[in-house]
Each structure stands twice: as C-alpha cells, then as structure tokens.
Amino acid sequence: MQTAIDQFRSNIAHVRNIGGLYTSVRSMTTTALDLSDLLRTQLVMCVSALDHYVHEVTRLGMLETLSKKRQPTPAFLRYDVSIGNTLQALGSVKRHVVAGRGNQNATRIPIISASR
C-alpha cells in the first residue's frame, strides 16, 4: 500500500509544479494570455491522482485478501467476476473474440482450447 500513497504524492507534486508554472507565466505576461487551461489541468490531474490512488489501494487490498494477508470484507465477497475473467485468470483462455467491431462495451466471448 505504501507504493500507492507514494505514487499519489508524486502525482500531486506534478500538479503543484503546474501551479508554479501558472504563477511564473502569469507574472511574466499580461491578461491578454488566457492561462485558465493550466488551472483546469491542475483540477483534472488532482481528480485523476485521487482516482488512481483509490483504484490502486483497492487492487492491492484485493490481492492481499487473495493471498490470505488480510480478511475478506463484505465488499470483497460481493465483488462479481465474470466466467471469462475467471477462466483467463486460471490460464484456460487462449484468446478472446470480441463481438462487435469498435464497440468498447462489446461482449467478450472466450475461446477455450480443448487440448490441455
């Protein structure tokens, strides 16, 4: 979990650097130059840093639970995993055929090899 918080802190440091860039450029230019995109970038990067942190902590917590380093929580026990993902994790799935071209929400149909 330490790596997740370290990455979060690193991401926030980058956000602060953009704030410093904004301050420096603002002091060297007139109001004719619109710098609001730098502030918007900071906001988006803050949300992204928090989102990444939450996902990493969740992922690491799930891995620790699977390796018996922590007790399963009710949320962990309710987490749904598809049969395709289960088979892939078990190494049974050789490849996926995606139904529908260009559709990111397309159903994945696993093709399982008969020979093992």
Cα 116 to Cα 104: distance, rounded to the nearest angstrom = 31
| 0.85 exceeded by pTM | no
- Domain residue extents for the chain: 2-78, 83-112
Give 76-89 pLDDT, tens digit per residue. Answer: 999 888 888 888 87
Look up tokens 């922590």; give the residue: 70
Cα 64 to Cα 72: distance, rounded to the nearest angstrom = 9
Cα 95 to Cα 113: distance, rounded to the nearest angstrom = 9
Cα 7 to Cα 30: distance, rounded to the nearest angstrom = 36
Give 14-31 pLDDT, tens digit per residue. Answer: 999 999 999 999 999 988
